[in-house]
Homo-oligomer: A and B are copies of this chain.
Amino acid sequence: MAKIKVGIVGGTGYTGVELLRLLLPHPEVEVISLTSRAESGRRVDDLYTSLRGVCDLKFSDPSDASLRDCDLVFFATPHNVAMQTVPELLANGQKVVDLSADFRLRDAKEWSQWYGEPHAAPHLLTEAVYGLPERNREAIAGARLIACAGCYPTSIQLGFLPLLEAGLIDVTHLIANAASGASGAGRQAKVDNLLTEINDSFKAYGVAGHRHLPEIEQELRVVAGKAVSLTFVPHLLPTIRGIHSTLYGKLTGNIADIQAFYERRYASEPFVDILPKGQYPQTRGVRGSNVCRIAVERPAGRDTVVVMSVIDNLVKGASGQAVQCMNIMCGLPETMGLQGIALIP
């Protein structure tokens, strides 16, 4: 069988190089196109030394023909790029996995409130399938266009899912206290992201309103089957990778063994791991891997439940999840190319 031909738009960022790390050794995929307006003509292994010896690709201009020869195209771009080009690719019969925020919100008006401009392809917002396989596996299998779940949203949804599905917590007062490594901000030349500004320090940001909030509330609403109210406070960690979400909810229903309940819910999920009672996840435990590790605790037997959920923001929170979606869309085993073990220490 011929390999699947894939392209990556926006290959200079961190999700781009991470896609290459995962796709180059993937047994059923061939990366044939890699675009970047700014770096057009430059070898990718000149920018990312780690790829020397394993990748001969050069960045090409997005207008390059090679993109049109792909069976499937990943967008590893900032928001507002994919929505300009996706309609044309779909019309051309190509599949698209978008890692950006362009197709995550269902409501074009809400999208433009948060992203500050009109949406360029609002007709695709309802067609786009939300790329979180643990919730949408079947829809993903049949989709042309995937809007990959964001990094914070992935860790928060997987943590809250069992409680919301079972209607066990007060959805009017959910709290998600999350922390992300600096790669979440991408490879942008900003003073705020300098080592000298964020190393040996910690802070909250976006407390008054973060772009991931509407995405999370939209999706939790679907799960809960009713309106939810989430207080979401992201923080910046002085680490490169990793998201740790600490979730708080007030139990409303009765639950005998919350540990067993979580274990049952995720028993057949290849990329969700419920830790044994009393063990808590650390971000390094998933460094470089596609696994989401979760612990659940009910301190002092009181009515507040605490869920801890960690992912590698560049893998399960971005490129790994994108490859997982691709595997599903293409009828491949879902875990193919995604079984690398986390790098510890």
Contact = CB atoms under 8 A, between A and B. Distances in A.
Contacts of A104: none
A304 B230 CA distance: 9
A239 B238 CA distance: 8
Interface residues of A, number: 91
Nearest to A192: B189
A295 to B, nearest CB: 8
A305 to B, nearest CB: 9
Interface string A330-345: 0000000001111111
A257 interface: no
A194 B187 contact: yes
Task: Give the residue among A276, A282, A283, A286 with the most B Cβ atoms within 10 A.
Answer: A282
A53 B273 contact: yes
Interface stretch (A78-86, A112-120, A200-208): A200-208
A194 B195 contact: yes
Interface in A291-345: 291, 293, 295, 297, 299-300, 302, 304, 306, 308, 310, 314, 339-345
A187 B195 contact: no
A17 interface: yes
A163 to B, nearest CB: 15
Interface stretch (A56-64, A139-147, A243-251): A243-251
Given A195-B194, A240-B196, A341 B205 contact: no
A29 interface: no
B240 A345 contact: yes
Nearest to A193: B194
Given A52-B273, A182-B196, A207-B308, A235 B231 contact: no
Interface stretch (A2-10, A128-136, A171-179): A171-179
A218 to B, nearest CB: 15
A287 interface: yes
User: Within the oligomer, what is the number of copies of this chain?
Assistant: 4
Contact of A190 (B177, B189, B200, B288): B189
Contacts of A345: 14, 17, 183, 187, 196-197, 240-241, 314
Given A194-B187, A288-B343, A202 B242 contact: yes
Contacts of A342: 50
Interface string A14-25: 100100110011
Interface in A261-279: 273, 275-276, 278-279
Contacts of A293: 49, 52
A276 B300 CA distance: 37
Contacts of A177: 177, 246, 248
A29 to B, nearest CB: 14
Given A53-B273, A201-B239, A248-B231, A297 B191 contact: no
For the complex of A and B, the 4 pairs showing the least CB-CB separation, nearest first, are A201-B284, A203-B282, A50-B342, A195-B195
